[in-house]
Amino acid sequence: MSNARARLLVAEEDSQLALPGLDSEPEWTWTQVEEETTLDRFEHTTVMREETVRALAVRDGGTYVDATLGGGGHAEAILDAADTARVIGIDRDTIALAAAGLRLARFGDRVTLIHDAFGNLESALLAHGVGKVDGVCADLGVSSPQLDEAERGMSFRREGPIDMRMNTTDGETALEMIARMDDEELANVIFKYGEERRSRRIARSIKRAHDNGELHTTLDLRRAIVRATGPVRHGGVDPATRTFQGIRIAVNAELDQLEALLAALPKVLAPGGVGAIISFHSLEDRLVKHAFHVRETWAPLWKKPLGASADEQTANGRSRSAKLRAARLIDHSVEGDP
The site for ligand SAM (CB under 6 A) is made up of 44, 46, 68, 70-74, 90-93, 96, 117-119, 139, 141-143, 166, 257
Shortest distance, position 159 Cβ to ligand SAM, whole Å: 22
Q: What are phi and psi of 189, to 5 degrees?
A: -60, -45
Shortest distance, position 116 Cβ to ligand SAM, whole Å: 7
The H or E element that residue 221 is part of is: helix 218-229
Q: In b/e form, how buried is each residue of 186-218, taking b as 16+ CB within 10 angstroms?
A: bbbbbbebbebebbbbbbbbbbebbeeeebebb
Residue with Cβ nearer ligand SAM (62 or 70): 70
Residue with Cβ nearer ligand SAM (45 or 297): 45
Question: DSSP assignment of 264-291, as one string?
Answer: HHHHHEEEEEEEEEEESSHHHHHHHHHH
Shortest distance, position 193 Cβ to ligand SAM, whole Å: 14
Shortest distance, position 143 Cβ to ligand SAM, whole Å: 4
Residue with Cβ nearer ligand SAM (71 or 194): 71
18 vs 234: CA distance, rounded Å? 47
Shortest distance, position 253 Cβ to ligand SAM, whole Å: 8
Residue with Cβ nearer ligand SAM (130 or 299): 130
Residue with Cβ nearer ligand SAM (22 or 262): 262
Residue with Cβ nearer ligand SAM (46 or 199): 46
Instruction: Give how far Cα 234 sits from Cα of 70, 75, 194, Å.
Output: 31, 37, 15
The H or E element that residue 37 is part of is: strand 36-38
Residue type, 267: K
The H or E element that residue 30 is part of is: strand 29-30
Shortest distance, position 254 Cβ to ligand SAM, whole Å: 6
